A and B are shown apart, each in its own frame.
Chain A
Amino acid sequence: MSPTTYLEAIRQGIWEEMERDERVFILGEDVGIYGGAFKVTEGMLERFGAHRVIDTPISESAIVGAAIGAAYMGLRPIAEMQFIDFISCAFDQITNFAAKSRYRWGAGVPMVIRGPSGGGVHGGPFHSQNPEMYFVHTPGLKVVAPSTAYDAKGLIKAAIRDEDPVIYLEHKFLYRRVKEELPQDDYTVPIGKAVIRRPGRDLVVLTYGAMVYIAMEAASELVKEGIDLEVIDLRSLLPLDKETILESVRRNNKVFVLHEDTRTGGIAGEIAAVICEEAFEYLDGPVLRVTALDTPVPYSPPLEEFFLPKVPDVLKTARMLASY
């Protein structure tokens, strides 16, 4: 068996769910004939037919609205946003129609909205965004962001089987850079469960998506200095796995949050509040943040590099916290 890429893992997950459950279908821009801008849906049109792999007009609101209508009728739509940046065009359908539907009148909307998020590939302001917090702030939605091929497959399957609308953020920087051997058997990764990527004893960093790799790289540097950094991959942002977070804080006593999303209103602030409310007496230092800067995602390489959190930023914060 050769290793499976993160992108191929998503594709496999969707493919297997479409084989398993005839209610599952995919709609979006260029998902059929072209196989998707990043080829996540390649071959699906030929295998499943045009009625289950639907090329739509450039109409994100209609893509999500139609997914909602189909979900009401018992189907399991997967709506692709060609770049997750375009999810802003469907914001109203997601936050007002889908998210509030079950609460308002008991009509669940089992639906996945997925697309490539994140920077590091010089995509510029409209092909690099991390829109998670618009949706984390919306009760009724779930938000997941896998970092490994295993989780990418397990979480897309869990999202498709979920009874509620799930925003599935796939990091485009990881699409072809990350790969691993995957189990042959069917498996899912539960939504709402974080995972410890690297156990440590001195302090813990909470992160997700492509930043997991920045954290791991920093951890291998820090260990040379005698600092044992625990790395927790949140995987789900809504619901947040408070249990795993608080357990680690009680054990490590020092914590910081690392995310590629911009700083103000990012999930680090929410996590810091949760820790202060529920584990303040276990803390031996302030809850710190390493994040992208509060600007749009810039295009030019030196600007984008300056904007994104990097290993040295993590090292600096970790060292400061370790010596606190």
Chain B
Amino acid sequence: MRQHDKDLHPSAKVPSVREEKLTEGRESVGVALQSALVHSIGAEPLRRMLYYMMLTRELENRIERKLYRQGKIVGGVYVGRGQEAISVGSCTLTRPQDVVCPSHRDMAAFLIRGMTPPRILAQYMGRRDGYTRGRDGNMHMGDLKLHVISFVSMLADNVPVAAGVGLAFKMRKEDRVVLCYFGDGATSRGDWHEGLNFASVEKLPVVYICNNNQFAYSTPVQLQMAVENVADRAPAYGMLGEIVDGNDVLAVYDATRRAIERARAGLGPTLLECKTFRMTGHSAHDDASYVSREVFEEWERKDPISRYQRVLLQEEIISQEKIDAMQRQVIEEIDQAVDWAESSPYPEPEDCLRGVYYEDDE
């Protein structure tokens, strides 16, 4: 964590922001709370969360370290390695009718909502069976039937869009919430401000989830903002802000559960800032030479997957043998998905012209 001069920024310490210290060797939710959480969640959902974290890691490793380097993915590749706890810990809590607006580092949100590795890989490879039929690449995908709204490259554009989703729920008095994800860099854009402000004024059922991975491409967070935490801005919107250990899936789960409860109770949006680190460059072509080896090593020790595995082993929710079997299952699943995606044809060139406007046969 970077140093923060409180004398220079006295206003950065805002009472309504809960701060958890992210120190190595101590689980951020605390041992007693951790145990209570583990038992309240139950063994099956806990194992499913581990599965999605491992599936996400393997899928993204395959995308970034194999398929991209083999030239099978022609466009940009952005992964969320090291950030898996955030989308898993939060999206796990959504009900089928809830909506998610994932960012480009939230692969698990797509998977948990039911989008499948074969079609996701076809999407990356520009194939006909990808979620955008070759019109767009990488994480720019969605499926309204699964209530997943597609992300665009203009960061924070999804923040007011999520407010609009929440507005529809409020207007129709539906018991639904929307989870909206973005990175620390996105919070510098005006759409972020406009969206949070409007959502809070209208008390909309939105949970805004920031993956603060400390870098916007190569620009460190202290060149993005003059406050210490993204969550420090929440009180300015009349919104509850909370700082969460983004590498602790149980902490993310716990904070999201409370935020969703507030949203369902009509108390309006919450801003969750999940502190994490981007264990990769901005994209596959960025070697992240601006990050020191020591910093990567430090965050490697806080890896959310191995950390969560330790908790589950300690709480006897899963055995090492079961974890190994899960890893083999994940690899096999991705192997099959890659084969399927590679066998998917490219779109017909003339398909370029279709679907700009509504067509009767849709």
Residues of A within 8 A of B (CB): 25, 51-52, 54, 56-57, 59, 61-62, 64-75, 77, 92-93, 96-97, 100-108, 139-140, 142, 162-164
Contact = CB atoms under 8 A, between A and B. Distances in A.
A98 to B, nearest CB: 9
A102 B357 contact: yes
A140 to B, nearest CB: 5
Contact of A69 (B166, B355, B357): B166
A94 B170 CA distance: 23
Interface string B79-109: 0000000000000000000010000000000
A104 B150 contact: yes
Contacts of A69: 149, 160-168, 178
A264 to B, nearest CB: 26
A65 B196 CA distance: 12
A66 B357 contact: no
A65 B195 contact: yes
B357 A75 contact: no
B154 A102 contact: no
A74 B164 CA distance: 11
Given A104-B136, A139-B356, A72 B191 contact: no
A67 B161 CA distance: 7
B154 A92 contact: yes
B197 interface: yes
B198 A57 contact: yes
Given A61-B190, A108-B358, A70 B157 contact: no
Contact of B170 (A51, A57, A139): A51
B36 interface: no
Nearest to B180: A69
A73 B141 contact: no
Contacts of A75: 168, 171
Contacts of B171: 25, 51-52, 70, 75
12 contacts: A62-B197, A65-B159, A69-B162, A69-B164, A72-B165, A74-B168, A77-B164, A92-B154, A101-B150, A104-B136, A105-B150, A163-B358
Contacts of A140: 356-357
A143 to B, nearest CB: 13
Contact of B164 (A51, A57, A65, A164): A65
B358 A97 contact: no
